[in-house]
Amino acid sequence: MGTLWHGRFEGGPAEALLAYTVSLPFDRRLAAVDIAGSRAHVRGLGRVGLVSPDEEVAVLAALDQVEAEMAAGTFTYLRTDEDVHTAVERRVTELAGDAGAKLHTGRSRNDQVATDLRLWCKGALLEVADGALALQEVLLDRAEEAGDAYLPGYTHLQRAQPVLLAHHLLAHLWALSRDVDRLFDCRRRLDVSPLGAGALAGTSLPLDPDATSADLGFACRFENSLDATSDRDFVAEVLFCLALLGVHLSRLGEEIVLWSSEEFGFLRLDDAYSTGSSMLPQKKNPDIAELARGKAGRLIGSLAGFLATLKGLPLSYNRDLQEGSEPLFDAVDQVILGLSALGGLVRTATFELDRMRAAADDPAAAAVDLAEHLVRGGTPFRAAHAVVGGLVRTALAGGAPLADLVAAHPDLGPEAAALLHPGVPVANRTSPGGAGPVAVSVQLDRAHQRLATDRDRHGAASA
Ligand code: ARG
């Protein structure tokens, strides 16, 4: 004995074959779901009489023991354990003898690995969603605490109009809430049991895939055994969800890098969430934020690489599919770590509100408010834009301060000049979803509601 398939083979496997093909080093993290799948399968075999009640009990006891050995760290993997599925079945057979040798009846590693991966993804997506919700909660707390503080909003990385700091932070929250929605949606789509599809075509034995699907808590069973054993759309989708989430973390990371630079000076990182330089004693570096940016490249690469793996595969199972597992595990790990590290960074950082305000109080940032003042008096916007543009040009050329030019202008005057006062432009961003305090307080309520709803969805899915 040795491999699962030794019967047909004369000699043992070459070292080079094992070294290249064995997936145990990474798929051992499927052990818990593999054991769950085997429990459901042997109970299914028991229900249709393919194993006797005693045999079922013996196999279930052996599976319990395997689980206990793994938890205790005493489980011994063998050189010939190609993958975790082999290792578990091999040990069950050692423990339960002939009853154990019946465990794989009507089952293939092809439906088994698809089942395991889907079960694993169901858990992993909830963990990622939990991390994303936690980061959203941090952003929401910080937004609430920011009150009426404001900073320049940017387009093209040029100062454009003042916005509330809360508004800026909430922009990242809403991107994450789309990610959370995508994670739930992806989880719903992959909630299909492949168990019972066999190697590719089902079986002559009276298995009941609906029953094992229900036993495992899947929403339904597969429709087509070829599709069930060869489909890894769900892995690609998870990788996409994580890549886009990673891109969102990267964009947040990039802003943290900019804001914590001396040039911006909008953000001071807590010591616990920044790093030093090995040579330059004065340095404090935003390495978490940089890695959030850097790791997005790896997440995108994992998605692109796995799509390339899938694109040429004929039906049904091909060993190439094994290439999905490492990027999947890695992407989940990296995103969970990133969410937690960024969450800590944002929670503990100090916003330099004076710096932000000073950067936003350039009167020219209120130029559009002057134009809108003229619009309220009936001037077509395009004409108003030209009038104010002319005043800004004169002010920039050193003619006079913008406020004086505005106050002296026949169509504008002192009332319009007051629009340039610090804090007035942002307060006037009153339209729904806009950047001013009135609109943002509505937004904060909505963000609370959205988070509560998503927390409930998470709770319901975890139950
Ligand atoms: N370890 C494999 C995987 O992850 C499953 C093994 C199926 N192997 C086979 N030769 N049919 O896809």
User: What is the residue extent of each domain of the chain?
Assistant: 6-105, 110-358, 362-421
Name the token pair of 209.
Answer: 């895939």
Q: State the pLDDT at residue 6.
A: 74
**CB-ligand 1 contact for 84 (6 Å cutoff):** no
Three-state SS at 163: strand
Q: State the pLDDT at residue 277.
A: 83
**CB-ligand 1 contact for 109 (6 Å cutoff):** yes
Number of the ligand 1 atom closest to the C-alpha atom of 82: 1
Q: State the pLDDT at residue 201.
A: 97
DSSP per-residue codes, 83-104: SHHHHHHHHHHHHHTTTGGGTT
User: Which of 83, 235, 329 maximizes ligand 1 atoms within 8 Å of its Cβ, making it the mutation to test the pocket?
Assistant: 83
Contact 182, 247 (CB under 8 A): no
Q: How far is the CA of 44 from the centre of ligand 1 (A)?
A: 22
25's CB contacts (< 8 A; 6+ apart) are none
104 is catalytic: no
- Identify the bridge partners of residue 192 per DSSP, sorted by sequence position: 220
277 is catalytic: yes
Contact 115, 216 (CB under 8 A): yes
**CB-ligand 1 contact for 322 (6 Å cutoff):** yes
Which residue type does 286 have? P
Please say whether the dihedral angle defined by the alpha carbons of residues 282, 286, 287 and 288, taken in this order, is positive or negative: positive
User: Which of 317, 320, 321 maximizes ligand 1 atoms within 8 Å of its Cβ, making it the mutation to test the pocket?
Assistant: 317
Q: Which CATH superfamily is domain 110-358 in?
A: Fumarase/aspartase (Central domain) (1.20.200.10)
Task: Take atom 12 of ligand 1 and give the residue whose Cα is closest.
Answer: 322
Query: Yes or no: is domain 6-105 CATH 3.90.1150.10?
Result: no
Task: Take atom 3 of ligand 1 and give the residue whose Cα is closest.
Answer: 322
How far, in Å, CA of 315 to CA of 308, rounded? 16
**CB-ligand 1 contact for 237 (6 Å cutoff):** no
Q: How far is the CA of 81 from the centre of ligand 1 (A)?
A: 12
- Active-site hit among 52, 261, 277, 431: 277
Number of the ligand 1 atom closest to the C-alpha atom of 325: 4
How far, in Å, CA of 99 to CA of 88, rounded? 14
How far, in Å, CA of 152 to CA of 356, rounded? 7
- CB-CB neighbours of 401 under 10 Å: 12
User: Which of 111, 119, 319, 326 maximizes ligand 1 atoms within 8 Å of its Cβ, making it the mutation to test the pocket?
Assistant: 319
Number of the ligand 1 atom closest to the C-alpha atom of 83: 1
End-to-end CA distance of the chain: 42
Query: Yes or no: is domain 362-421 CATH 3.30.450.40?
Result: no
**CB-ligand 1 contact for 229 (6 Å cutoff):** no
**CB-ligand 1 contact for 321 (6 Å cutoff):** yes
How far, in Å, CA of 38 to CA of 33, rounded? 9
**C-alpha distances in angstroms, 176 versus 243, 248, 269, 435, 451?**
12, 7, 22, 19, 10
Q: How far is the CA of 110 from the centre of ligand 1 (A)?
A: 6
Number of the ligand 1 atom closest to the C-alpha atom of 5: 10
Three-state SS at 159: strand
Contact 374, 411 (CB under 8 A): yes
Q: State the pLDDT at residue 148.
A: 97
Per-position pLDDT tens, the chain of length 463:
467 777 778 888 999 999 999 999 999 999 999 999 999 999 999 999 999 999 999 999 999 999 999 999 999 999 889 999 999 999 999 999 999 999 999 999 999 999 999 999 999 999 999 999 999 999 999 999 999 999 999 999 999 999 999 999 999 999 999 999 999 999 999 999 999 999 999 999 999 999 999 999 999 999 999 999 999 999 999 999 999 999 999 999 999 999 999 999 999 999 999 998 888 888 889 999 999 999 999 999 999 999 999 999 999 999 999 999 999 999 999 999 999 999 999 999 999 999 999 999 988 889 999 999 999 999 999 999 999 999 999 999 998 999 999 999 999 999 999 999 999 999 999 999 999 999 999 999 999 999 999 999 999 999 9
**CB-ligand 1 contact for 110 (6 Å cutoff):** yes
**CB-ligand 1 contact for 240 (6 Å cutoff):** no
Q: How far is the CA of 326 from the centre of ligand 1 (A)?
A: 14
**CB-ligand 1 contact for 306 (6 Å cutoff):** no
**CB-ligand 1 contact for 184 (6 Å cutoff):** no
Q: State the pLDDT at residue 455.
A: 98
**CB-ligand 1 contact for 117 (6 Å cutoff):** no
Q: How far is the CA of 19 from the centre of ligand 1 (A)?
A: 15
Q: How far is the CA of 87 from the centre of ligand 1 (A)?
A: 13
**CB-ligand 1 contact for 193 (6 Å cutoff):** no
Task: Take atom 4 of ligand 1 and give the residue whose Cα is closest.
Answer: 322
**CB-ligand 1 contact for 197 (6 Å cutoff):** no
Name the token pair of 123.
Answer: 């858990």
- CB-CB neighbours of 183 under 10 Å: 29
How far, in Å, CA of 33 to CA of 116, rounded? 5
Q: How far is the CA of 123 from the centre of ligand 1 (A)?
A: 22
The helix (run of H) or strand (run of E) holding residue 452 is helix 437-462
How far, in Å, CA of 92 to CA of 111, rounded? 19
**C-alpha distances in angstroms, 451 versus 51, 133, 181, 252, 421?**
48, 7, 11, 19, 36
- CB-CB neighbours of 52 under 10 Å: 13
